[in-house]
Amino acid sequence: MGAYILRRLLLMIPTLIGIMAVNFAVIQFAPGGPVEQVIAKLQGTDVSATERFSGGGNDFGSQQAGADSAGGDAGLSSKYRGAQGLDPEFIAQLEKEFGFDKPPLERFLTMLWNYARFDFGNSYFRDIPVVDLVLEKMPVSISLGLWMTLISYLVSIPLGIGKAVRDGSRFDVWTSAVIVVGYAIPSFLFAILLIVLFAGGNFFDWFPLRGLWSERYGGTPFWSWITDPVALADYFWHLALPLTAMAVSAFATTTLLVKNSFLDEIRKQYVLTARMKGLTERAILYRHVFRNAMLIVIAGFPGAFIGVFITGSLLIETIFSLDGLGLLGYRSAIDRDYAVVFATLYIFSLIGLVVTLISDLTYTLIDPRIDFDSREV
């Protein structure tokens, strides 16, 4: 087991490098980078855009004001859309500010070296360390990802087992109909319906629409009030509608996966042999079938958790005004804040690889016959 874990950990290094390399290469051809974003704002669309670049030793604002609007100045700035007429020194300082004064390969290698030391730098436009920005948004994503995955598995596994044992019965038919209808309804549409019904729409005003907690808890750290029953009730009160909206489609996939997995195992020869030996159906189901059928369910756990944790909650975060990592990643991509984009990509990729390894190791807890040391990675 130790050798297998070591091989998997070593394999994470080239995997992370490959992920970062592919995305870095794609970004090089993406139009509208951070320099273009600043130029577009400086051209009059946003007066406050110069605030990020008007401090310190470089007075970008005064350089831009003194730019020559024609002639030789356009030579350097013409490679950026909308930069004609701006002072070449101003453009050069913008490039230096964002690190674009260096060749792409050098920038990529520097980024890898910094990320290996978990040095993610500052956001381009918010002047705040990326780590602090991610930690600020983390409670929302942890709340949605953790509770959604936990609720989904706690409900779907018993329901799927019940459907497999009662395959073809009225219970199986009716629950399948409910699951299919729930899966067909997009989570964001169901979220809007919940808001209309229960959050101050045309009917009831029972649940809040913004944030993870009320204002009186907003200034305290997430972990400081988690043991307070009143604060905890307020926390789940705010999460009730978002989790309900996300659960509709999540139940369907996991429940049907559990049912089909158990049906495949129940029909195998070893189950018939166990029945001939006089074992009860309960003993057969939970002592023999369960550990074999649950392997495929556990294999889907990393994808389910990471999907909700990173990207699956973007629309829900937007609808319920929850400022989490999904919304952060979307806004950073739109703003071309590459410092945040690449840092979050690295963090999420690393988390995904670690969770996948943990998922593989969990196999041995369910089925001790699995020997990872005897297999190749």
Bigger pLDDT: 95 vs 143: 143
Q: Looking at the structure, give the CATH architecture of the domain made up of residues 130-374.
A: Orthogonal Bundle (1.10)
DSSP summary character for residue 199:
B
Q: Given this model, what pLDDT does residue 366 score?
A: 65
pLDDT tens per residue, range 59-88: 444 444 444 443 344 344 446 655 565 667
- Point out the least confidently predicted range of 114-128, 278-292, 293-307: 293-307
pLDDT tens per residue, range 320-367: 888 888 788 888 888 888 889 899 889 888 888 888 888 777 777 666
Token pair 């629309």 in the structure block, residue = 315
Q: Given this model, what pLDDT does residue 113 score?
A: 93
CA 373/CA 27 separation, integer angstroms: 39
pLDDT tens per residue, range 206-245: 888 887 777 776 656 666 666 777 778 888 888 889 988 8
Q: Is 269 exposed, middle or buried (0-12, 13-18, 19+ CB in 10 A)?
A: exposed
Its pTM stands at 0.71
- Point out the least confidently predicted range of 53-67, 247-261, 280-294, 347-361: 53-67
pLDDT tens per residue, range 257-275: 889 888 988 888 888 888 8
Residues of the chain with pLDDT > 90: what percent? 7
Domain residue ranges in the chain: 32-106, 130-374
Q: Where are the alpha helices (DSSP H) in the chain?
A: 2-28, 34-40, 60-65, 74-77, 88-98, 104-116, 130-165, 170-184, 187-198, 229-266, 269-276, 281-284, 290-299, 301-306, 314-319, 325-335, 338-366
